[in-house]
Amino acid sequence: MFYGEYAHGIDNKGRLILPSRIREVAKAHFVEKFYLTRGLDKCLFMFSEEEWRSAETKFKALPFTRQDSRKFNRLYFSGAVEVVPDKQGRILIPGYLKDFAGIKKDVVIIGVSSRVEIWAKESWHEFYQANLDSFEETAEKLIENQ
């Protein structure tokens, strides 16, 4: 549903304008609000409500008697916030999430099918450069096991 890579900036009030393509896709799928939380690899994950509820169901089913399940759920859900874009397509990113992702001003927003990821510009470029050369090898390993 969400695809592409977009460079944007955070304003002085901590608001981020969602790329117009992401807003168009959200509108076409009747998405009015999103859930934003701590992601993996030091980025933020943003889900439509439908995708959020689906993931929530899976994560709630993890056995709470396992320490790693409790740890993951605590960090994942405690960081979550519901965000509704304003009329200009802006969302407010709370300070604790900006701190988690190392976001200061410039961000890269990427569509990863069922979710949107928000990265500090420097972190995205580091991740991209570190992993681009192994893209084909990773694809072979993943697709070969299907």
Average pLDDT taken over every residue of the chain: 94
Q: Report the candidate in 38, 34, 116 with the shortest Cα–Cα distance to residue 82.
A: 34
Q: What per-residue confidence (pLDDT) applies to 137?
A: 87
- pLDDT (mean) for 57-82: 93
Choice among 57-61, 115-119, 134-138 with the minimum mean pLDDT: 134-138
Which domains are present in the chain?
2-121 (3.40.1550.20)
| pLDDT tens-digit readout, 9-20 | 999 999 999 999
Give burial (CB, 10 Å; 0-12/13-18/19+) of 80: middle
Least confident range from 67-71, 76-80, 139-143: namely: 139-143
pLDDT, residue 24, reads 95
pLDDT interval class at 145 (50, 70, 90): low
